[in-house]
Structure 1
Amino acid sequence: MPERLRPALRLVPRSLLGRMLFLTLLVVLVAQALSSFIWLSQLRASQLDGLLTSARSLGQSMAASVSYIRSLPLGYRPMVLDQLRSMGGTRFFVSLNDKPLDMRVLPETPRKRAVLEEVEQVLRERLGKDVEMSLHFVGPDDLRLFNGGLKLDELPRSWAHYALTLEPLNPPVLVTQIRIGGDEWLYLASLLPEPYAGLEDQGLADQQLWFILITGAFLLLFIGLLVHWQSRPLKRLARAAREMSLGAEVEPLPEAGGSEVADVSRAFNSMRERISRYLNERSQLFSAISHDLRTPITRLRLRVELLEDEALQAKFSRDLDELELLVKGALQCVKDTDIHENIEPVDLDHLLQVLAEPYRDKVTLEGRALAPYPGKPLALRRCIGNLVDNALKYGERAHLRIEDSAEAFVLHVDDEGPGVPEQKLGQVFEPHFRLAGHKQGYGLGLGIARNLAHSHGGEVSLRNLHAGGLRVTLTLPRPAD
């Protein structure tokens, strides 16, 4: 897996409920984002059409105003404009100047450019293509109205504020300056009508955002309840599977839920019956073997005692001792691993202290368990006890160190012995395997410990230490809540 994908995958929840909610939220966000993008694109397209229509209407009104002022005699033009300003309520602020006024122009945006082009096109169609004019958008604070460069706030409110302010928004003002003859420039300043005065692209409305949030919340709640309801049989199945792996008696699962979940429960019940039947047959088989082998071995020992040849008698006795050792070892292995106990919380700190108590001078213990471990008390005691005994038997001293976390309980058992050759690390778990020079016991301790760890879903691993000695690590995963 590429390294760059691992941090992203860590964000994905591990539980079925968490993943379903995560995927549902992701789908909702993608769907809402796509629908909102389409809706917003259509809204902006319709707004642009409305804006251009308003711009054409504004251009028509400007052209009519320019034509009217042109039609007046030169001496009447200032008087008419003064009367219009005094009356108030006009759509434009209009003035006559002897030159175009210089003002700081606002930066162009696609919408502003479209309005300017549309208004200019209408004006040139109505007034002539050769007419000299300039069109710009200007901020209210930078607006100049007469030859003297007066600002908007320096004029009576009735003169210009009705046409050029839209408090508290203060949108940009469209300033059009057209030469109407000689040195006369007609100045027209106006706002675009609502809702286009701001010339800004509108985003999602608050109602649309609330609709997305409420819809997503209801969908997540519904999916969460549905997945929780459907996942309960799976949780029962996981709990029953773990208890069965620990050897506990498990009641048949109810075959409820969806058809797929019911099929899984039915298959688990069938598997449980087969495994239970197999374990019973195995126990009966080993009991029969134990009973059947003891009689012929005892009979053979009696016959060996009757042999006159002592050398031959010694050979037969060694063979019988080896045969009896193998039988006892096999039966001991089955006895130690086939422990029928109920699962209960085990205080591993107390268990380790009890195991280390008889060997105060030879066993050290470091670390503590965070919480009790749910398992079989006697099986765990035998598993850890075998590891400690093995360390003391072959390494004289045992150093125990606990590393506990929410995921697993880990116990390191270090000894001070010669270690194990690397090529034989995997063989020491095999029944009756003993290293050269080690003749004590049956050679089953590590194998039994690993089998007991496996029954708890754990593992036993070996590693030679650089400073000498062998490290045996017991890992017991903690069940998820």
Structure 2
Amino acid sequence: MTQIGSWLKRLAPQGLLGRSLLIIVMPLVVLQLVSAYVFYGSHWETVAKRLAKGLAGDIGSIIESMRAFPGEDERTIILSIAANRMELDTRFLPGAILPNQPRDAASGLLDRALAEAMDERVQRPYRIDTESLEREVVIRVQLSDGMLEVFAPKKRLFSSTTYVFILWMIGTAMLLFGIATVFMRNQVRSVRKLALAADRFGKGQDVADFKPEGAREVRQAAQAFNLMRSRIQRQIQQRTEMLAGVSHDLRTPLTRMKLQLAIMGDVEGRAELDEDVAEMERMVEGYLAFARGEGSEQPEAVDLPALVDEVVARFRRQGAVIDLHHEGEIVMPLRPDSLARALGNLIGNAIRYAGHVWVRVGCRQNAAEVLIDDDGPGIPPDRREEVFKAFTRLEVSRNPGTGGVGLGLTIARDIVRTHGGDVLLEDSPLGGLRARVRLPL
């Protein structure tokens, strides 16, 4: 049962439109099959038997009339009446004998109905040929003095209502299927718009023109999405405004402290105080940069390899050794300044703790990837998620004298996730650490 269930799941449509149409179509198909079976088993077969009995009865009447009036002139009149009144082309072959061979078993509904009718109404040796002629059935009946050959039109054995019923059944089914497809497509379109709006918002793109539409439940979901978007945007705005004030409040006393130190001149302990003030400034700037983010920057079409080239060139001018390779142009909506900052943090970390850095840009599985490999000491696998937490520094595996406040990786992942992607840390084939940046196309 488990294998059958998985097999059916693979065959079932994956989209909402396909599954909805399947829910509509399957009962319709079952209804059509049941209707066809009932029609074939009752009406069609009954009508076919009655038409076959009518034809066999006409043949039996001709035979009985020929027995009652055996003269040649009377036979001619009887055959003429059969042609004019019964639509039967009859011929009498004196002395002819049916082939001495077994009668073929009736295969189709027509053959079975006609054979039963001939056995009931004629009760003489006969042969039925329904295949030699396209529009006529040939019936040969053995008489005592010869053989009667009857050419009957096939339309006498078929009811036109059969084809009309089938055409109406198929036609109405196709019409209902078409109407259902149109309505379901309209309903699914609203769901797709909601999914697209959520995806765009998750990537940090503007979705101000999104309007709820569709069924009541879909509109409720869309309204909930709009409320969620408004709350998140309001929270980001409030955070930015608050941090702007915090920035001013913190920088003012630091500036006064720097002025006081400058006025003090060369006194004992001034160098240590200068370092403490500079460290405080770096910490404040790092914290504000992490909390503020780059939310005000609007996405634009950017060539990712060109952006990576600019970031790498900046580090090369500072003397860093970086091997860069990319697969060609990859244009996608990005916030260039914030993404350049995220890549700068990742490449800067690799340069700080390694002697050589390799950067690769390409497309993998519907996503753009930037791979940053180094030959440094790396990070233990069980602590790779920990380094993304704010103000976290791995003093055991990283040089504690290199500076920083433990926000570089946190800011990088935050920026990449606002683009709908993610930053992952893995083992590098070069012996150090690999930072994998994935951005959905």
TM-score range, shorter chain: 0.7 to 0.9
CA distance in 1, matches of 2:186, 2:94: 74
**Length-normalised TM-score, structure 1:** 0.69
Aligned residue among 291, 309, 334 for 1:334: 291
Partner of 1:34: 31
Judging changes above 3 Å, is the alpha-carbon distance between structure 1 residues 238 and 343 closer, same or farther for their aligned structure 2 residues?
A: farther
Range with greater deviation from structure 2 (251-260 or 348-357): 251-260
The one-letter amino acid paired with 1:189 is E
TM-fit CA distance, 1:474? 0.9
Structure 1 residue identity aligned to 2:119: E
- 1:310-321 to structure 2, matched below 5 A, reads none
When structure 1 is superposed on structure 2, of 381-390 and 355-364 the one drifting more is 355-364
1:353 aligns with 2:350: no
* Kept in 2: contact 1:44–1:201 (CA 8 A): no
Structure 1 residues 422 and 204, CA gap change in structure 2 (3 angstroms): farther
> Could you give the per-residue CA deviations for residues 238-284 of structure 1, whole angstroms, max 9, x where no partner exists?
56555654556765865666544554454344334433332233234
Q: Secondary structure at the match of 1:120?
A: helix
Counterpart of 1:4 in structure 2 is 7
Amino acid at match of 1:108: A
Q: For residues 133-164 of structure 1, what are the alpha-carbon distances to aligned partners after superposition, in whole Å with 9 as ceiling and x for unaligned?
A: 433323575xxxxxxxxxxxxxxxxxxxxxxx
Aligned counterpart in structure 1 of residue 234 of structure 2, from 260, 273, 277:
277
Equivalent position amino acid for 1:407 in 2: N
Unaligned runs of 5+ in 1: 14-18, 125-132, 142-166, 179-183
Q: Is the 8 A contact 1:461 1:473 kept in 2?
A: yes
* Letter aligned with residue 388 of structure 2: F
Aligned partners of 2:152, 2:127: CA distance in 1, in Å?
Answer: 13
In structure 2, do the counterparts of structure 1 residues 227 and 332 end up closer, same or farther at CA, with 3 Å as the change threshold? closer
Superposed, which structure 2 residues align to 1:194-343 within 5 Å? 194-197=154-157, 207-208=167-168, 211-212=171-172, 215=175, 219=179, 222-223=182-183, 226-227=186-187, 231=190, 235=193, 241=198, 244-245=201-202, 251=208, 259-290=216-247, 326-335=283-292, 337-343=293-299
Residue 380 to residue 325, structure 1, CA distance change in 2 (3 Å): closer
TM-fit CA distance, 1:202: 5.8
Task: Say whether residues 1:92 and 2:90 are aligned partners.
Answer: yes
- Return the alpha-carbon distance in structure 1 between the equivalents of residues 115 and 432 of structure 2: 88
Q: TM-score, normalised by structure 2?
A: 0.74
Does the residue aligned with 1:92 lie in a helix, a strand or coil? strand
**Which is higher, the Rg of structure 1 or of structure 2?**
1
Whether the 8 Å CA contact 1:99–1:185 is kept in 2: the answer is no
Alignment root-mean-square deviation, CA: 4.6
Decide whether aligned partners of structure 1 residues 194 and 99 sit closer, same or farther in structure 2, where only a CA change above 3 A counts. Answer: closer
Equivalence map 1:345-424=2 (5 Å): 345-358=301-314, 359=316, 361-370=321-330, 372-404=331-363, 407-424=366-383
Q: Deviations over 1:109-136 (max 9, x none)?
A: 2522232123212335xxxxxxxx4333
**Whole-angstrom distance in 1 between the partners of 2:201 and 2:112:** 76
SS at match of 1:215: helix
Given candidates 406, 429, 441, the residue that maps to 2:403 is 441
CA change 1:274–1:117 in 2 (3 A) is closer
SS of structure 1 residue aligned to 2:325: strand
Q: Which residue of 1 aligns with 2:433?
A: 470
Written as runs of structure 1 = structure 2, the 5 A alignment for 1:450-465 is: 450-465=413-428
Q: Is the 8 A contact 1:391 1:398 kept in 2?
A: yes
Contact 2:97 2:142 in 1 (8 A): no
In the alignment, the residues of structure 1 paired with residue 112 and residue 195 of structure 2 have an alpha-carbon distance, to the nearest angstrom, of 66
Secondary structure of the structure 2 residue equivalent to 1:402: strand
Q: Contact between 1:60 and 1:122, CA under 8 Å: does it hold in 2?
A: yes
For 1:84-122, what per-residue CA distance to the aligned partner results, in whole angstroms no more than 9, with x for missing partners? 779994653333447543368554125222321232123
CA contact (8 A) 1:248 1:341 kept: no
- Alignment partner of 1:474: what SS? strand
Deviation of 1:56 after TM superposition, in Å, equals 2.6
Instruction: Write the mapping of 1:55-204 to structure 2, written as runs, cut at 5 A.
Output: 55-71=52-68, 89=83, 91-97=89-95, 99-102=97-100, 105-111=103-109, 112-124=111-123, 133-138=124-129, 141=132, 169-178=134-143, 184=144, 186-197=146-157
Identity among equivalent positions (%) equals 23
1: CA distance, partners of 2:82 / 2:63: 18
Q: CA deviation at 1:25?
A: 7.4
Partners in 2 of 1:468 and 1:296 — Cα distance? 46
- Per-residue deviation at 1:383? 1.6
Measured in 1, the distance between the counterparts of 2:197 and 2:58 equals 83
In the alignment, structure 2 segments of 5+ residues that lack a partner are: none
Could you tell me how far 1:471 is from its partner in structure 2? 1.8
- Does 1:45 pair with 2:42? yes
Q: Secondary structure at the match of 2:389?
A: coil
Offset of residue 451 of structure 1: 0.6
Give per-residue Cα distances to partners, 1:217-253, cap 9 Å, x unaligned. Answer: 752674277448x729x73x55655565455676586
Offset of 1:413 from its aligned partner?
A: 1.8
2: CA distance, partners of 1:12 / 1:248: 27
Distance 2:343 2:171 in 1: 60
Task: Judge conservation of contact 1:369–1:402 (CA < 8 Å) in 2.
Answer: no
Opposite residue 428 of structure 1, the aligned amino acid is: V
- Out of 361, 364, 389, the residue aligned to residue 430 of structure 1 is 389
Q: Work out whether residues 301 and 333 of structure 2, in 8 Å CA contact, stay in contact via their aligned partners in 1.
A: yes
